[in-house]
């Protein structure tokens, strides 16, 4: 709410008009308000994430990766926020609560996959605290070899 309060109100000649200053049209929309509340409004789009849509990979993988970036996959912690009760245990290891971070990055099953592919590509720079950081780091490191670069870019989508 403090971020909303900090927004300037634009003043112009003539009749008063209430305008939303977060977009060019001056109209309020929930998408912009949600970005402000989540602290995403001031962040410039990451070029590595924008390249996601131009990759030659299945649309399902692109969409799922996009959902991961926006933290909207239906893991039990997100489902519980919507009022649904369930087991909330990771379906792969059955050891911890199923969160996006655990399921895609920290679960013993997922970790083995990441580590296997990281060793193939000789890339061991994985952020165990954040799947978003892991994917961003993976996307930012690439090679000039076209075949290896393509395989490198496609691998995270197939892993998750």
Task: Report yes or no: 126 and 160 within 8 Å, Cβ to Cβ.
Answer: no
For residue 97, the cross-strand partners are 89
- Shared domain check, 81 and 142: yes
15 and 72 assigned to the same domain: no
How many structural domains comprise the chain?
2
72 and 147 co-located in one domain: yes
On whether the pTM is more than 0.85, the answer is: no
d(CA 88, CA 79) in angstroms, rounded, equals 9
33 in the same domain as 65: no
31 within 8 A of 20, measured Cβ to Cβ:
no
Residues 89 and 31 placed together within one structural domain of the fold? no
- If asked whether residues 26 and 55 sit together in one domain, one would say no
Give the gyration radius of the chain's Cα atoms: 20
Cα–Cα distance for residue pair 39/129, rounded to 1 Å: 19
Whether residue 94 sits in one domain with residue 15: no
Residues 26 and 87 reside in one and the same domain: no
Are both 77 and 131 inside the same structural domain?
yes
For 3, 17, 79, 142, 152, the CA distances from 105, given in Å and listed in that order, are 32, 49, 19, 20, 17
pLDDT per residue as tens, the chain (160 positions) = 676 666 666 566 677 666 676 666 777 778 777 777 776 555 555 665 666 777 777 888 888 888 888 888 888 888 888 888 887 888 889 889 999 999 998 899 988 988 888 888 776 666 777 888 877 777 666 666 777 777 777 788 888 8
Residue 17 CB-half CA count within 13 A: 13
d(CA 66, CA 52): 8
Is 32 in the same domain as 53?
Answer: no
Do 32 and 87 share a domain, yes or no?
Answer: no
Q: Could you tell me the residue range of the domain that residue 110 belongs to?
A: 47-159
């Amino acid at each position: 709410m403090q971020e909303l309060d900090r927004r300037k109100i634009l003043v112009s000649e003539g009749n008063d008009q209430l305008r939303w200053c977060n977009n060019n049209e001056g109209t309020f929309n929930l998408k912009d308000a949600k970005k402000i509340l989540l602290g995403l409004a001031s962040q410039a789009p990451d070029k590595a994430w924008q390249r996601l849509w131009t990759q030659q990979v299945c649309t399902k993988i692109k969409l799922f990766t996009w959902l991961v970036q926006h933290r909207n996959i239906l893991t039990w912690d997100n489902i519980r926020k919507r009022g649904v009760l369930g087991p909330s245990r990771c379906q792969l290891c059955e050891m911890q609560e199923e969160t996006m971070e655990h399921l895609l990055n920290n679960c013993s099953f997922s970790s083995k996959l990441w580590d296997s592919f990281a060793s193939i590509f000789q890339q061991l720079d994985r952020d165990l605290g954040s799947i978003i950081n892991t994917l961003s780091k993976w996307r930012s490191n690439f090679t000039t070899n076209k075949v290896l670069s393509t395989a490198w870019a496609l691998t995270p989508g197939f892993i998750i």
